[in-house]
Amino acid sequence: MTDHPRTIFVLTGAGVSAESGLGTFRDRGGIWARFDPMRLATPEAYAADPDTVLDFYDHRRRGAVAAEPNAAHVALAQTEARLAARGGRLFLCTQNVDDLHERAGSQAVTHMHGELLKARCCACDAVTPWRADLSRADRCPACGVSGRMRPDVVWFGEMPMHLDAIEAALAWADLFVAVGTSGAVYPAAGYVRQARALGIPTCEVNLEPSDNADAFDEARYGPASAALPRYLAELGL
Ligand code: APR
Ligand code: ZN
């Protein structure tokens, strides 16, 4: 084992973007306390009422575009560069659909729940950048069919993305860190136990103990913008 981790697997959730002003889902007053996910974040909801679903995601997309990365996003981007310079790697797997990790400078971000800034055509599956409000009348730039565009995000009941790459990266990690996630949604919530089973040290950085806090070897509690840079500095990164 080197004197510092060579491959860190970092899993982020909505808490890492909370101090950038983006809502979390399950905190008091969270998104799912104000909106019904079954009416807004399922394929059935989109089929039944696409305009309402598109409006909801347009609103979230505009919020994400207006937000700025915070010190937690920046610390992860800097750590990615430092590890790469030493021949190591930071594998950043996010459940978030905003682009704050990318805008903070992270070069390799795996969005397992998709991305708000991309739209997908239900007719041909082509994914295109989504910059302006999306309406049902919009035509797919790839196949020209209109009325079939949706946000390229993973809804409840749909399979998360990039699962093979995530599993492979987890197997190579020297350290598993979860940041700003409640541990409520699988498969992401199960990664800490998979890491433990592989003998990989684990740490959660969160505002408060998550649903699977007991599965972590260590924890650093507090706002991610302060707790995460401090923890990474402790690791000599
Ligand atoms: N710093 C660190 N952690 C924070 C902060 C903060 N400033 N603010 C909130 N948190 C923590 C909360 O304590 C909570 O444990 O972030 C976590 C957010 O949990 P959720 O709202 O459940 O978000 P997340 O874990 O990302 O949800 C997973 O659920 O609905 C789906 O697709 C959605 O990707 C999302 C998934
Ligand atoms: Zn198409």
List Cβ neighbours of 171 (8 Å cut-off, separation of 6 or more).
198
The ipTM is 0.99
Q: Are strands 127-129 and 114-121 parallel, antiparallel or unpaired?
A: antiparallel
Residue 185: per-residue pLDDT: 96
How many other CB atoms are found less than 10 A from the CB of residue 233? 11
pLDDT at residue 1, rounded to an integer: 44
User: Global pTM?
Assistant: 0.97
What pLDDT sits at residue 52? 95
Model pLDDT, residue 21: 97
Q: Tell me, what's the pLDDT at 237?
A: 85
Kindly report the CATH number that applies to the domain delimited by 1-22+69-113+160-236.
Answer: 3.40.50.1220
What is d(CA 175, CA 70) in angstroms, rounded to the nearest whole number? 23
Q: Which residues are catalytic?
A: 113
- Give 90's strand partners: 8
* Distance from residue 157's CA to the centre of ligand 2 (Å): 22
71 marked ligand binding residue:
no
10-residue mean pLDDT profile of the chain (237 residues): values are 75 98 94 95 96 95 97 98 95 98 98 97 95 83 94 97 97 96 97 97 98 97 98 94
| Burial track 51-86 (b if 16+ CB lie within 10 A, e otherwise) | eebbebbbebbeebeebebbbbbbbbbbbbeebeee
Tell which CATH classification among 3.10.20.740, 3.30.1600.10, 3.40.50.1000, 3.40.50.300 matches the domain 29-66+116-153: 3.30.1600.10
Domain spans of the chain, in order of start: 1-22+69-113+160-236, 29-66+116-153
Tell me the sheet residues that pair with 8: 90, 175
The angle at the Cα of 163, spanning 160 to 164, to the nearest 5 degrees, equals 155
Of ligand 1's atoms, which has the minimum distance to the CA of residue 30?
21
Please tell me the predicted confidence (pLDDT) of residue 3. 62
Tell me how far the alpha carbon of residue 18 lies from the centroid of ligand 1, in angstroms: 8
30 annotated ligand-binding residue: yes
- pLDDT value at residue 4: 63
